[in-house]
Every structure is written in structure tokens, then in C-alpha cells.
Amino acid sequence: MYKISKNIFNWDNMSIIEKINIITSVNNKKCEIQNKVFKILKDVEKHGDVALKKYTLKFDKIKLNDFFVSRKRLKKSSLLVKNDFKKAILMSFNNIQKFHKLQKIKDIDVNISSGIRCQRITTPIDSIGLYIPGGITPLISTVLMLSIPAKIAGCSNIVLCSPPPIKNEMLYAAKICGIKKILQLGGAQAIAALAFGTNTIHKVNKIFGPGNAFVTEAKIQARELVSGLSIDMPAGPSEVLIIADEFSNPEFIAADLLAQAEHDYNSQVMLLTSHKNLAYDVLFYLNKQIKNLSRKEYIISSWKNSKIIVTSSLEESFNISNQYAPEHLILHLQNARKYLSQIKNAGSIFIGSWTPESAGDYITGTNHVLPTYGYAKTYSGLSVLDFQKLITVQEISKISLKDLANNISILSKAEGLDAHDYAVSVRMNSWKFK
């Protein structure tokens, strides 16, 4: 018998330590995970393909002869998925593409003053790796979320990897996005392969994609171990925080909490409301709805990390939310849009009772690769810009350098950098004696 425990707390009755624990996303097994991930990374770095085959057999129970999905199988995927799936994927593709195309930024080219020209140009990151969570619940939609902005940005060398066996639906999604290199690898070992490279796999410059705690830790460690390697963001187990008022529908709220809780054993869901009766109504619907769901074990496990908090006011709810910085923030509020100005930290916001987080996961057009663990305080959700670099350019005419020379000399001498000053004066002297 699966039952959602009470887990309802009154914010004003909690100690400071209890409050800090609630608003801080903590992985209690972090040290253990760090050690395991480090061993996997170093093993793959040293033994390459041999280590990858070993870990794939160990974790995925599959013996691989070739890490890459054949072009024949990729092409055949079109024949092995249902037409209604194709239609749904196409709608998602079009919406995501439409929203992300608008994210392209304009190059800058400006004459600062006569003879001084400055530019900012964009260039795609050359080689990138896209990680797609797989296994029991393959995130097919993440293929679109990563591939579409990568293509819009103009990335030329793209490799996508996901744990085997890779479903035909995922291959079809990759195919319509124009992805041709697909690796049958998952977990920390997949991140290691992308980061270090092996005899058969080329290393990449940047790694993208969400994953479990092991994948997230592997991305963080690989960034430190490999010079020049970058990652998109720390995106681990999923989170949702809901702020609700007396006008909210408790049945809708319960459904939204369960939808996020089913993602992962370590997912975290939160409800903040100043109305105690609503909190108990939501608890009632949580227990009613879980009976009909298939991923009960995941939900019960993630509920241990989760809370329903009764606050003294809507303002207090927003203060707590901003401290927590949720990956997903749902506003189950009347006239919800008017509260946007009160939100400082969130990965993505869902406005009103008719905007379930599920819609953002699949089809609205926004990106569902978002920062977790409180990183929404400093990171943004994935965008086209994450797949590009911004390069500045400057050009000075001979006459303009003469006008700037004295000020450059003053500033460089103030910093004690003689060679900076000489780099200008040698040019001035060259011109003077011609």
C-alpha cells in the first residue's frame, strides 16, 4: 500500500536550522557519489574503450561491440514509430525551434569614435556532446531541447549519447533534428568518454544535458580534470516548487507535484501556501491520485525529500521560493502574472492553473534543461547562446592611436606595466621618425 505521508510544516513554528535544511537542496550521498564518479572517470581516461565496455556491461547489462548507432538503424527508426508520435514530435519540434530562433543575438559593429572600431561577433562551439537520460524512462524530449538550439547556433560536430538500449522513438527524434552521431553510452562513463575521448570516440569542447546525481557529478569533475572543457550547468534530479492561494485547485496541484516526483528517486517537490486547509486538500488528492500511477516507488522515495509548507502570507511564500531558487516554479494563483516582479530566482516559471509543468517539458517551446540544486540563483535555463561564443574585435587607425597614446601610457604606468606602455610608444616613435 503506497501512501503519501503528511509532511506538512508550519514555517513560523520551525527552527532556523529546519528552515535552512528545507531551502537548501542537499544530496546527502554527495561524498560517496564523488568518490565513485572519480574512479570511473580515471578508469575511462586510462583504459578508454575497454573501460566503457566494462561499465556498460556492469550498469546497463549490455555487451557492446560498437558504441555508435549504425546509420541503417537510425534511418529505419522512421518506420518503427507510430504516426501519432511523429505528429506530437513534429509539433514539439516546431514550437521549440520557433522560440529558440528568436534567441539569436545580433552581432555588434560600432565606431566608438573616429578611427576606433569595435565589434562583437558570434561563433558556434565547434565540438559538443549532448547527454540524454535513458533507461526505464528515456527523455526523448530532451533530444529536441538540446539538438535544436545546437543546430540553430551552427554547431558542426555534434555527438549525442544515451544509455543503451536506445529506443526507436529517441532515434527518430535525433533523426529529425539532423543528428547523425549517436553513442550508446550512459552514466558517468558516457561523460568521461565525451570529456577525455578514446580510440573510437572524439573528445568534445562542451557537454550538455541533464542527468542523475552521478551524471551531474561527472560533468562537474570532468570540467576540472580536462583543460578547456566546459559544461552547460549543474542539472541534476528534478525540482518543482508551487505557490498557491485560496483560489487554487488542490486536485491540479497534487497532479503537478506527482508529475515531478515521478522523475527520479531523488527528485524534490514543494508546496508553499498560506492556507492550511488547502494543504490538507492537496494531501488528500495526492493519496487519491498515486493509486493510479505506475511509478509509485519513485514518488514515495522523492516524497521523503519533499515538503508542504504553510506560510503566514503570500509574500513569505515568495521569499522562501527566492531563497530555494527552484528549477520549476508554478504559480497556482489568481491573477498570477502580476506576481512575476516578485520572482528573483527560478529556472522556469509556469503561470496560472492551466499551465502544467508537463507542457513545458514537452511542447510549449521553452527549454526544459534547467539549473537545479539552487543554481537558478546564478544560472539560466539552456538557450542558443550556450552553444556559441562571443568574440570581440577592435581596430584602431594610426591617427587615432596617436590620440589615445598618452592616456594608455598614464593607465599602464599606474598599473606598473612598462611593456604595455612600450607597445604604444614604439609605434609612436616609428611614426615620428619616418
Grade residue 26 by pLDDT with cuts at 50, 70 and 90.
low
**Starting at the edge strand that comes first in sequence, how are the strands of the sheet with 108-113 ordered?**
108-113, 116-124, 388-396
Query: Residue 18: how many CB atoms within 10 A of its CB?
Result: 11
pLDDT tens per residue across span 313-325? 999 999 999 999 9
pLDDT of residue 8: 93
Whether 176 has a pLDDT exceeding 70, the answer reads: yes
pLDDT band, very low/low/confident/very high, at 264 (cuts 50, 70, 90): confident
Q: Is 47 annotated in some ligand binding site? A: no
Is 415 annotated to bind a ligand? Reply is yes
Residue 107 marked ligand-binding: no
Q: pLDDT band at residue 433, thresholds of 50, 70 and 90? A: low
Contact 237, 267 (CB under 8 A): yes
Grade residue 367 by pLDDT with cuts at 50, 70 and 90: very high
266 in Cβ contact with 237 (< 8 Å) = yes
Give the span between the Cα atoms of 186 and 199, in whole angstroms. Answer: 18
Fill in the amino acid letter for 91: M
Element (H, E) at 319: helix 314-324
Cell 570516440 sits on residue: 201
Q: What is the pLDDT of residue 19?
A: 87
Cα–chain-centroid distance for residue 170? 19
Side-by-side strand order, sheet with 268-273: 8-10, 307-310, 268-273, 239-244, 328-332, 348-351
- Reported in sequence order, the residue ranges of 4-153 that DSSP labels E, i.e. its strands, are 8-10, 108-113, 116-124, 127-131
* Cell numbers representing residue 294 in the block: 505506475
> Of 12-21, 38-47, 333-342, which range is least confident?
12-21
Cell 577525455 belongs to: 196
Sign of CA dihedral 140, 146, 147, 148: positive
**Eight-class DSSP state of 107:** P
Residue 434: the pLDDT is: 56
Judge whether residue 411 has pLDDT over 60: yes
Q: What is the mean pLDDT of residues 220-238?
A: 91
Catalytic residues: 327-328
100 assigned ligand-binding residue: no
Long-range contacts of 169-172 (CB under 8 A, 24+ apart): 169/77, 169/81, 169/85, 169/138, 169/140, 170/132, 170/134, 170/138, 170/140, 170/143, 171/69, 171/73, 171/74, 171/77, 172/77, 172/78, 172/80, 172/81, 172/85, 172/86, 172/89
**pLDDT at residue 388 greater than cutoff 70:** yes
CB 245 within 8 A of CB 330: no
Q: What is the pLDDT of residues 75-89, one digit of tens each?
A: 999 999 999 999 999
pLDDT on residue 29 = 63
SS3 assignment, position 175: helix
CB-neighbour burial class of residue 178 (10 A; exposed 0-12, middle 13-18, buried 19+): exposed
CA atoms within 13 A on the CB side of 309: 29
pLDDT at 231 over 60: yes
Name the CATH superfamily, with its identifier, for domain 30-235+384-389.
Nitrogenase molybdenum iron protein domain (3.40.50.1980)
What pLDDT score does 28 carry? 56
Round the average pLDDT of the chain to a whole number and report it. Answer: 94
Topology (CATH level 3) of domain 8-25+237-365: Rossmann fold (3.40.50)
**Residue 105 corresponds to which cell in the numbers above?**
543575438
Q: What is the mean pLDDT of residues 390-409?
A: 96
Is residue 28 part of an annotated ligand binding site? Answer: no
Determine the pLDDT at residue 373: 86
> Do 8-25+237-365 and 30-235+384-389 agree at the fold level?
yes
Q: For residues 156 and 126, give the distance between their C-alpha atoms in angstroms, rounded to a whole number.
A: 6
Type and span of the H or E element at 147: helix 140-153
Instruction: Dihedral sign for Cα 138, 234, 149, 347, please.
Output: positive
Given a contact cutoff of 8 angstroms between Cβ atoms, the answer to whether 364 and 381 are in contact is no
How does residue 266 score in pLDDT terms, banded at 50, 70 and 90? confident
Burial class (CB in 10 A: 0-12, 13-18, 19+), 356: middle
6 within 8 A of 287, measured Cβ to Cβ: no
Task: For residue 212, say whether it is annotated as part of any ligand binding site.
Answer: yes
Q: Is 118 helix (H, G, I), strand (E, B) or coil?
A: strand
pLDDT grade, residue 181 (50/70/90)?
A: very high
pLDDT band at residue 431 under the 50/70/90 scheme: confident
User: Could you tell me the residue ranges of all domains in the chain?
Assistant: 8-25+237-365, 30-235+384-389, 399-432
Number of Cβ within 10 Å of residue 199's Cβ equals 7
Q: Could you tell me if 321 and 329 are in contact, meaning their C-beta atoms sit under 8 angstroms apart?
A: yes
